[in-house]
Amino acid sequence: MAGASEERLVLPSASSRPDAVFARVRSQTAFEETVDQLGTAIKLGLLAPGSRLPAERDLCERLGIARSTLRQALTALGHSGHVYATRGRHGGTFVADPQPPAHPPSPEMLSQWRETCDRRLAVELGVAVLAADRAESAELDALDDVALALEDALEDFPAYRQADIRLHVGLAEAAHSACLVREMTEVQGAMTDLIAHIAHPPEVLTSSNAQHRRLLAAVRERDGMRAARVMTEHLKGTEHVLAGLLPGG
């Protein structure tokens, strides 16, 4: 690992200049897109191991995000081993040397992960719209309880993932479509295989939970179009995190 005293941002070519690496992100999925953008730049070598990231204020201006959003993204990237932070006169946030994962995903999984996300998007958008039209009050009350369980499982990802699956499959059940319940169960299984290969810091899970709450609120208010928009943001957020953190993705 390169020493922390290397303060200059190292980029391999003119085409990889900082303003190309650090493009502005959208506000709806700012946290997830920041993880995606920085994680992908590191994996592609556009940000070299040992190089120091620009100062927080500069990064926030380039990306168009709040400092709290940037810090959450950097924490997530730290948990995943993409960056590390040091203190002192020559401190800052540095790009870590890449470490091979203990159990890397198969080439087949890496070649198909976006198709898995596409299939999930198609299934879950239909579920969101139909649930907003058909869900019963008692079913939504039960889903609210699952959302609360998710809040209590930020430090225990296996428990979090089980509750997350219950919420999404429960939403399909609330759409009253046996076909969609089967499709949801299958696509959640495929997603579980994918996300097993990335880190799950509380910052990522907290962002996901906020989207869950907005989704359930839209369904309860019978607003199918808003439920679809929130679901799209939620699933695209997951896709951004996978793009940034999935080894070789």
Structure tokens at 73: 């993204």
DSSP H or E segment with residue 84: strand 83-86
Structure tokens at 190: 């495929």
Return the pLDDT at 165.
94
Nearest to 6 by CA among 57, 61, 47, 59: 47
Nearest to 241 by CA among 190, 187, 201, 183: 201
Q: What is the separation of C-alpha 159 from the centre of its chain, rounded to a whole number of angstroms?
A: 18
Return the pLDDT at 127.
98
Fold category of 14-95 in CATH: Arc Repressor Mutant, subunit A (1.10.10)
CB 97 within 8 A of CB 50: yes
Q: Which CATH code of 1.25.10.10, 3.30.300.180, 1.20.120.530, 1.20.1080.10 fits the domain covering 107-245?
A: 1.20.120.530
Q: Domain segments of the chain: what residues?
A: 14-95, 107-245
Nearest to 105 by CA among 236, 199, 196: 196
Q: How far apart are the first and last CA of the chain?
A: 23
Distance CA 155, CA 23 (A): 31
The phi-psi region of residue 8 (left if phi > 0; otherwise alpha if psi is between -120 and 50; otherwise beta) is beta
- Alpha-carbon Rg for the chain in angstroms: 19
Return the pLDDT at 18.
47
Task: Per-residue pLDDT tens, the chain, 249 aa: give them.
Answer: 444 333 334 333 333 344 556 778 877 789 999 999 999 888 878 888 999 999 999 999 999 999 999 999 999 999 888 999 998 877 899 999 877 666 778 888 888 999 999 999 999 999 999 999 999 999 999 999 999 999 999 999 999 999 999 999 999 999 999 999 999 999 999 999 899 888 888 888 999 999 999 999 999 999 999 999 999 999 999 999 999 988 866
Is residue 119 packed enough to be buried (19+ CB in 10 Å), middle (13-18) or exposed (0-12)? middle
Return the pLDDT at 116.
95
For 118-123, which contacts have Cβ atoms below 8 Å and span 24 or more sequence positions? Answer: 119/187, 119/190, 120/187, 120/190, 120/191, 120/235, 121/232, 121/235, 121/236, 123/172, 123/180, 123/183, 123/184, 123/187
CB 240 within 8 A of CB 32: yes
Return the pLDDT at 6.
38
Nearest to 81 by CA among 249, 247, 215: 247
Distance CA 191, CA 107 (A): 16
Q: Where are the alpha helices (DSSP H) in the chain?
A: 18-21, 30-43, 56-63, 67-79, 107-134, 137-151, 157-174, 178-195, 202-220, 224-245
